[in-house]
Structure 1
């Protein structure tokens, strides 16, 4: 993976960074924690401009959010609620649950997108609920752009400062992303079990 990322940046330069960051949002196994620190190291060597690397990283990251945003927008809250009412029983999921989640995103979606863009593991997935809740595109792009710029600056700057040891960034951030995903999985299982217990209690009464 490291050699492939490095090779693409060497052959395509700034366009390679932009392309990699678009792909990273669509295919999370491609880690920004390797792409941007590597580009930061290239800037430290004088092969690239640090501000342009950050700009390309931010732009690629924002462009990469759009496909999932539009998929969420096309799917929509009503369709998802109808699906949950028809098929969500095995997940103990109802249309009312979808409505609650959508209302929560309407209230807190801006903060979720802004800070979520800096959390490994969920940063690319947030585009779906943003689209489903019909967050206005300019608003989504604004908060996604700010969060992506901060993330790009942090990772690129780390690679610039670490030099040849830029891969240490991924060594620290990679495990953090797995912990976050694991915690989310545990929270989801706990919620499902809680819902089933509540429904069983209602059935018994």
Structure 2
């Protein structure tokens, strides 16, 4: 399934050029897992191509990719801000979420929202889904947009330039970052387990 999505993304990018870069990065940042690890390096590869029919400008690939990622993120932020909170509260019990959990999430985004918005853009998987909880917690939208843009710009520079330098070997970038995905998933699972054990201990003490 992932290979199909990647191949489809490459096809769209090769046909639509800059519009494809913007659209795919916007979709990738809107909770739809189209890997930017394929979009941006392939855009960088097209920028290095000697074929004038497909050739793109690296700086434009980076800027348009950044704008697309920011646009998709802000869209999901507003979806979370406008309709996400009532939906989460409605199904909180089924999701095993208490009022204190929602308040804790709000506090985290109020205290560390800038860091979360910035660093999440540099992490595979997490970057795709972070905008929705930021909106649900109603983090300051101006700060969210600014730090999302800066983080997305760094991500676009790194992947776009890597694809440009590696040329036809750009696919290796995705392979390396695919390995990084496992580390990110392991870290998230570790945090969930830590949170669950800590919660159990606190509950045992209060009882």
User: How would you bin the TM-score normalised by the shorter chain?
Assistant: 0.7 to 0.9
Query: Which residue does the alignment assign to 2:46?
Result: 42
1:109 aligns with 2:113: yes
1:178 aligns with 2:182: yes
Query: Which residue does the alignment assign to 1:63?
Result: 71
Q: 1:98 to 1:67 in 2, by over 3 A?
A: same
Q: Is the 8 A contact 1:76 1:133 kept in 2?
A: no
1:36-83 Cα offsets, whole Å, 9 max, x none, are 000101001150101110011101111111232122212466875676
Distance 2:18 2:33 in 1: 21
Query: Which residue does the alignment assign to 1:198?
Result: 202
CA RMSD of aligned residues (A): 2.2
Q: 1:22 to 1:79 in 2, by over 3 A?
A: closer
Distance 2:152 2:49 in 1: 24
C-alpha displacement of 1:141? 1.1
Query: Which residue does the alignment assign to 1:74?
Result: 82
Moved over 6 A (4+): none
- Per the normalisation by structure 2, the TM-score is 0.86
Distance 1:121 1:49 in 2: 27
Gaps of 5+ in 2: none
Count matched residues: 199
Q: 1:129 to 1:160 in 2, by over 3 A?
A: same
Q: 1:106 to 1:120 in 2, by over 3 A?
A: same
Q: Is the 8 A contact 2:45 2:166 kept in 1?
A: yes
Q: 1:77 to 1:28 in 2, by over 3 A?
A: closer
Gaps of 5+ in 1: none
